[in-house]
Chain A
Amino acid sequence: MAKSIDVSDLDIYYGDFLAVEGVTIPIAARSVTAFIGPSGCGKSTFLRSLNRMHEVIRGARVDGKVLIDGQDLYADDMDPVNVRRLIGMVFQRPNPFPTMSIAENVLAGQRLNSKRMKKKEADDIVERSLRSAGLWNEVKDRLDRPGSGLSGGQQQRLCIARAIATQPEVLLMDEPCSALDPISTSIIEDLIHELKTDYTIVIVTHNMQQAARVSDTTAFFNLAGVGQPGRLIEHGDTSMMFSNPEDPATEAYIQGRFG
């Protein structure tokens, strides 16, 4: 569990349009890496390329390499379905399956991976995942109720529980708190701190303070102009990035002068 990611010279295309150009970045295991940058700079696209979720859009393709502990995610014999079973994802808006109960939601990924599960085993997974997501005490009495009846913050934690139920190597989070209130946000940030002992976490955020609070490493993305591809401007230790960035654009963005 928890593997490092090595991205080298990655270009991401949608059809003929080059969306992200030349990204090279190592992501350490059991750490939190934050991607920051203005809207449209390709940080979400890049995040989604890490579990091949960008491929749901027609015509998407990549050039370059993404290695997870040396294994190329884009090798010819690599099935995107298997990649996604290895690398969990939490989305911007909470998206529990509305027709499933809380327990079924947690088990959804598990049921895809291994069809047969004993009841005891399933109950254990539900409890373990919900505890890890800090949701167990709030929902343990209504595990058979629909997940859509929870509050937004609870739903997002349910989605985290669902993502970690299969014990993935890496957890990707695409602005997981942008639809949540400050209290839920703070709960999820605490959760990220706890989860990083077991998982490699990559998070996209628009909230600079959040990046500073939760991440060990920060990567700043920017684009030269409309219609230009997004690029990774620089990456490094979060404290260094926020106190003494190398690139003037990073400094300007972090200080809120643009973006």
Chain B
Amino acid sequence: MGCPPGTTAPSERLTIVTSTQSPERRRTTPTRPGDRIFRGTSLAAALLILATLAGVAVFLTAEGIPGILASPDEVKHGTGFVDYVAPLVFGTLLAAILALTMAVPLAIGVALFISHYAPRKLAAPLGYVIDLLAAVPSVVYGVWGISFLAPALVPLYRWLEDNLGFVPLFAGPASATGRTILTASIVLAVMVLPVITAICREIFLQTPRLHEEAALALGATRWEMARLAIFPYARSGIISASMLGLGRALGETMAVAMVLSASGVVTFNLISSTNPSTIAANIALTFNEATGLTVNALIASGLVLFVITFGVNFAARAIVDRRKDFSGAN
């Protein structure tokens, strides 16, 4: 069906005319080669992603099941799988949620500053710096966290223990090294900040001028304009950005493994020297010495992380979809 653009080959015209008689042929509207090639490549790309994901899932499941079913005396940690993985799941979620709690408001603020408040001369360089933060390897964040941030936070932890010790989160005793779950979360927050900021900034910049002017004309201040026009418009984007950040925080390995002094407990005490570990950090720290079914158990913990990430993404999608009518896309 290769005919020059703007014309229709006679045979194709015939197809359209006769299509009323044969429903099977109704779909054969003329397609151009360019369209078919593009459709083919994009379909292939989509399928490749699905295949990769399926491959990872199959590997994790196949290798992980023996680890899940292993009896306590067959693995190095000496407990059932659920008892083994539960504290890790707890630590992973705690660290990631703490990181997001710190990073998301800050990222939104920074993005809003860059997109709507900063003078143009400042906005562009600031944007570059934020993007640059995203390119720093996580091991560098790990080194920074362990050699600078952790010692620097020790006095703060002491202060928190002394003054806010009645809050379970700061019960203490304060860690002397500062290598706590809170420190790890702060490092994670710094790491996810650029991703969330960059996406939020792009979305804020796309806020239709019409809506901004509608808010301003009603007598909105700049901040009220952000609340009336920018945030509602950017809502689903902010959630998506946070989920990307959460994905990175959940899966981050190196920085957490380096910073966190983990002992695999379940506690909400954020500043003590006994901290829950995370799945990813635990795999990184124990995989080298692991043998036999212990390896399978580690892979199974990876499967758990995979499922958590999946669940988080589905939840985010559901949140975005729930108010679809009001998204402004219609």
Binding site for B on A (CB under 8 A): 51, 53, 56, 58, 81-86, 88-89, 91, 93, 95-101, 108-109, 112-113, 145-146, 148-149, 159, 162-163, 166
| Interfacial residues of chain B within 208-238, with CB under 8 A of chain A in the complex | 208, 210-221, 224, 228-229, 232-233, 235
Interface centre among A89, A95, A108, A148 (most CB of B within 10 A): A95
| Besides A81-B219, A149-B325, A166-B218, 18 new A-B residue pairs in contact (Cβ under 8 A), listed by A number | A56-B216, A58-B120, A81-B221, A82-B219, A84-B218, A84-B220, A89-B217, A97-B214, A97-B215, A98-B232, A98-B326, A98-B330, A99-B235, A99-B323, A109-B218, A109-B219, A112-B219, A166-B219
Q: Which residue of B lies closest to A145 (CB)?
A: B325
- Give chain B residues whose Cβ lies under 8 Å from the Cβ of A91: 210, 213-214, 217
- Give chain A residues whose Cβ lies under 8 Å from the Cβ of B211: 95, 97-98
Would A56 and B233 count as touching, CB distance under 8 A?
Answer: no
- Asked if B5 is at the interface of the complex by the 8 Å CB criterion, the answer is no
Minimal beta-carbon separation of B74 from chain A (angstroms):
55
Would B232 and A85 count as touching, CB distance under 8 A?
Answer: no
Would A146 and B210 count as touching, CB distance under 8 A?
Answer: no
Binding site for A on B (CB under 8 A): 120, 208, 210-221, 224, 228-229, 232-233, 235, 323, 325-328, 330
Beyond A81-B221, A95-B210, A99-B328, whether A53 also contacts B232 by CB under 8 A is no
Determine the distance from Cα of A93 to Cα of B211 in the docked complex, in whole angstroms. Answer: 10
Would A51 and B325 count as touching, CB distance under 8 A?
Answer: no
Would B325 and A112 count as touching, CB distance under 8 A?
Answer: no
Would A146 and B228 count as touching, CB distance under 8 A?
Answer: no
Q: Which residue of A lies closest to B232 (CB)?
A: A99
Would A148 and B218 count as touching, CB distance under 8 A?
Answer: no
Minimal beta-carbon separation of B143 from chain A (angstroms):
42
- Give chain B residues whose Cβ lies under 8 Å from the Cβ of A99: 232-233, 235, 323, 326-328
Task: Pick the contact of A98: B120, B212, B221, B233 (CB < 8 A).
Answer: B233
Beyond A53-B213, A91-B213, A112-B224, whether A85 also contacts B219 by CB under 8 A is yes
Task: Pick the contact of B214: A81, A83, A146, A159 (CB < 8 A).
Answer: A159
Minimal beta-carbon separation of B325 from chain A (angstroms):
5
Minimal beta-carbon separation of A122 from chain B (angstroms):
16
Task: Pick the contact of A100: B220, B224, B326 (CB < 8 A).
Answer: B326
Task: Pick the contact of B217: A51, A101, A146 (CB < 8 A).
Answer: A51
Minimal beta-carbon separation of A142 from chain B (angstroms):
11
